[in-house]
Structure 1
Amino acid sequence: MTAGAVVITAADGSLAGLAERLRDARVPVRERPLLRFAPPATWAALDDALRHLDEVVALAVTSPRAGRAVAARHEVLRGRGEAGPLDRVTVWAAGGASAATLRHLVPGVRLPDGARASKQGAAARLARAMLAAGVAGPVLFPCGDLRRDELPRLLREAGVEVREVRCYRTELASEADARAVAGAGEIVVVTSPSVAHLLSRACDGGPRPRLLAIGPSTADAARGHGWEPAAVAARADVDAVLEGLHALLAVH
């Protein structure tokens, strides 16, 4: 294990600028993605949902990746004259980065109040905000094949119909790769519950580096395997992650 080294396991394109800012601060850093994202095998399901937006009252987006997929496919369909009326649907986003992917299509994207300070997971916070606003459904929920179930579960428990549609695939690295990553540094930055599960399985019974988990859902996934994060960044942005890393490095 390299003393003081920070290993970033985020997918390429995520947490852009984090590695550079760590290097500027003379912190050893290694970028070792443990997951990648790919398009779905077919866009048919998402395209069909976007053609029939008049059948839903709201669109819920919990990640920038899902937002970009919706925006790209809506523009393709609009070019063919097939897109549904996105401006007649209330669009909700879990955070500012997700909202930004859709604002060129829908200026009035709604966000939960107090998103930066809340300790809830982003999806749960969004679901509760939608329920508080009286969203009755149906709700279109574009998501990946690996995702937490807080938003659809909370909405369905309240009697709201949720229509899930896959808009990207998550491809995880092998456990052997995860073990190698865990040994590559002293602090490992983990951005998602799926990677927390992968690392926990890979390091079961072996040495575990200090973990900086991004978001409460990722932290809970690690705790479920008996791996208490050394720090939890409240948000998936570079400033929040740097704040957590600087605190960990200061007590090294």
Structure 2
Amino acid sequence: MNVQPLKNRTILITRARQQAGRLSRELQVLGAHVIEIPAIEIVPPESYAPLDTALRHMQKYDWLIVTSANAVRVLGERMAAVEKSPEEFAHIRCAAIGPATAEALRGLGLPVALVPEKYIAESFAEALRGHVAGASVLLIRAAIARDVIPDELRKVSAKVDVVDAYQTVLPPASVTNMRKIFHPDQSRDSIAKSSASLPLSALPDAVTFTSSSTVTNFFQLLKNAGIDFLPRQVKAISIGPITSTALREHGWEPAAEADPHNVEGLVQAVISSLSPR
């Protein structure tokens, strides 16, 4: 049995720096050389006022829905800021989009009543529909997220308040690092689309993507770095179907998709897509 199936492989991780640690460690244990170039940076929303107001009036809600561990982290910070204890949430049922988010909620002392079988918005909305008809719901999420969950829940007459816990932006330093990886010190002629691609030693074997926003921002970083294509031998590894769709919209067919749609599944997808040299 090969205990280091990723030995001599280089994997580029696009996840936000605050979230990349576990994925990096698991890939390194398997022998991979990991490069972290975050495609997103997590920053505060325009204002915490809507979230703080909602937390001060938690008695009006029946359900609390949280869509990421980052949102839970901010929830905990704002609970402390407005002096709300977990006991004041005792009447509320909590739902989390995946096990990492559920674990984070439990870490705040909030029991979790529902986690969908598949960790995507569509599955989350479907799992919730039968529970929230006519209920009052607080949804805490990232700014500019897809509206699948609130739209579907409103179809069953749920009263849904959506508040932003954080927003994601392009990390400025990542442009420089992207240029170093995908446009090393070689002439432009040597990396023309019609010619041989860059030497394998200069490139990652695969790039992992953990959300559609990492895909969108990755291509924006390439554009900002003056890079208008990707070398053929670099593989894209996706965490799930929404992320895969985003990759295809940019003309990049994923070499593998995680199943389940979490870090463990993503690691296995990397292994399956990169056969030994």
TM-score (norm 2): 0.77
Q: Which has the higher contact order (CA 8 A, sep 6+)?
A: 1
Say if 2:42 is the partner of 1:37.
Answer: yes
Counterpart among 39, 56, 62 of residue 57 in structure 1:
62
Q: Against the structure 1 CA distance between its residues 144 and 36, is the aligned structure 2 distance closer, same or farther, given a 3 Å change threshold? A: same
Counterpart among 131, 135, 140 of residue 129 in structure 2:
131
Structure 1 segments of 4+ aligned residues over 4 angstroms from their partners = 104-107, 174-179
Please give the alpha-carbon distance, in whole angstroms, between the structure 2 residues aligned to 1:15 and 1:46. 26
Q: Against the structure 1 CA distance between its residues 167 and 181, is the aligned structure 2 distance closer, same or farther, given a 3 Å change threshold? A: farther
Number of equivalent positions: 243
- Equivalent residue runs for 1:177-196 within 5 Å: 180=179, 183=182, 184-196=203-215
C-alpha deviation, 1:23, in angstroms: 2.8
- Unmatched tracts of structure 2, length 5 or more: 1-7, 183-202
1:226 aligned counterpart, secondary structure: coil
- Asked whether the equivalents of residues 86 and 106 of structure 1 are also in contact (C-alpha less than 8 Å), the reply is no
Residue aligning to 1:198: 217
Please give the alpha-carbon distance, in whole angstroms, between the structure 2 residues aligned to 1:181 and 1:132. 50
- Asked whether the equivalents of residues 63 and 132 of structure 2 are also in contact (C-alpha less than 8 Å), the reply is no
Deviations 1:151-186 (A, max 9, x none): 112112333222111111211246955853772412
Deviations 1:61-117 (A, max 9, x none): 1101111211221233226x9x9931111111111111122224554312235x2xx
Larger CA deviation: 59-68 vs 232-241 = 232-241
Say if 2:247 is the partner of 1:227.
Answer: no
Q: Which has the larger radius of gyration?
A: 2
- Asked whether the equivalents of residues 55 and 79 of structure 2 are also in contact (C-alpha less than 8 Å), the reply is yes
Q: Against the structure 1 CA distance between its residues 200 and 42, is the aligned structure 2 distance closer, same or farther, given a 3 Å change threshold? A: closer
Q: Against the structure 1 CA distance between its residues 4 and 129, is the aligned structure 2 distance closer, same or farther, given a 3 Å change threshold? A: same
Say if 2:274 is the partner of 1:249.
Answer: yes
Please give the alpha-carbon distance, in whole angstroms, between the structure 1 residues aligned to 2:25 and 2:92. 39
Q: Taking every aligned residue pair, what percent have the same amino acid on both sides? A: 28
Counterpart among 3, 6, 10 of residue 5 in structure 1:
10
C-alpha deviation, 1:220, in angstroms: 1.4
